[in-house]
A = this chain, B = another copy of it.
Amino acid sequence: VRAQIALLPGDGIGVEVVAEAEKLLQAVAKKFGHEFSFVRGLIGGCAIDATGEALPDETLSICRASQAILLGAVGGPKWDNPSAKTRPEAGLLKIRKELGLFANVRPIKASPYLVQASPLKTEIVAGVDILFFRELTGGLYFGESGRKTNPDGSETAFNTMIYSTYEIERIVRLAGQAARGRRKKVTSVDKANVLEVSRLWRQTFDRVMQAEFPDVQTEHVLIDAMAMHLISKPKNFDVVVTENLFGDILTDEGSMLPGSMGLLPSASLGADGPGLYEPIHGSAPDIAGKGIANPLATILAAAMLLRHSLHLETEAVAIEKAVDHVLSRGHRTADIAGGGPAVSTVRMGELVLEAFLAV
Q: Do the beta carbons of A140 and B156 come within 8 Å of each other?
A: no
Residue contact B157 to A194, C-beta cutoff 8 Å: no
| Interface segment, one of A222-230, A303-311, A344-352 | A222-230
Among candidates B155, B158, B194, residue contacting A141 with C-beta atoms closer than 8 Å:
B194
A224 in contact with B196 given A159-B160, A256-B231 (CB within 8 Å): no
A81 within 8 Å of B (CB atoms): no
Q: How far is the CA of A121 from the CA of B200 in the complex (A)?
A: 39
Residues of B close to A245: CB separation below 8 A: 191
> Which chain B positions have C-beta within 8 A of A150?
164
Do residues B147 and A154 form an inter-chain contact, with CB atoms below 8 A?
A: no
8 Å CB contacts to B: which residues of A106-163? 118-121, 124, 140-141, 143, 145-147, 150, 154-163
A253 in contact (CB, < 8 A)? yes
Number of copies: 2
- Distance between A343 CB and nearest chain B CB, rounded to angstroms: 25
Interface centre among A162, A227, A250 (most CB of B within 10 A): A227
Question: Are A164 and B160 in touch, CB under 8 angstroms?
Answer: no
Q: How far is the CA of A250 from the CA of B231 in the complex (A)?
A: 12
Which B residues are CB-close (under 8 A) to A121? Answer: 118-121
Q: Is A67 an interface residue (CB 8 A)?
A: no
B159 in contact with A195 (CB, 8 Å): yes
A249 at the interface (CB under 8 A from B): yes
Interface pair B252/A253, CB less than 8 Å apart:
no
In the assembled complex, the CB of A126 is this many whole angstroms from the nearest CB of chain B, namely 12
Q: Once the chains are docked, how many angstroms separate the CA of A196 from the CA of B160? A: 10
* A283: interface (CB < 8 Å): no
Chain B residues with CB under 8 Å of A166's CB are 154
How many Å from the CB of A89 to the closest CB on chain B?
A: 10
Residues of B within 8 A of A196 (CB): 145-147, 157-159
Within 8 A of B (CB), among A154-179: 154-166
Interface bits A190-229 vs B (CB < 8 Å: 1, else 0): 0100111111110000000000000000000001110110
**Could you give 25 example pairs across A and B, Cβ below 8 Å?**
A120-B121, A140-B161, A145-B196, A145-B197, A147-B196, A147-B200, A155-B164, A155-B165, A156-B162, A156-B164, A157-B163, A157-B197, A157-B199, A158-B160, A158-B162, A159-B198, A160-B161, A161-B161, A223-B248, A223-B249, A224-B252, A224-B253, A231-B231, A231-B253, A249-B249
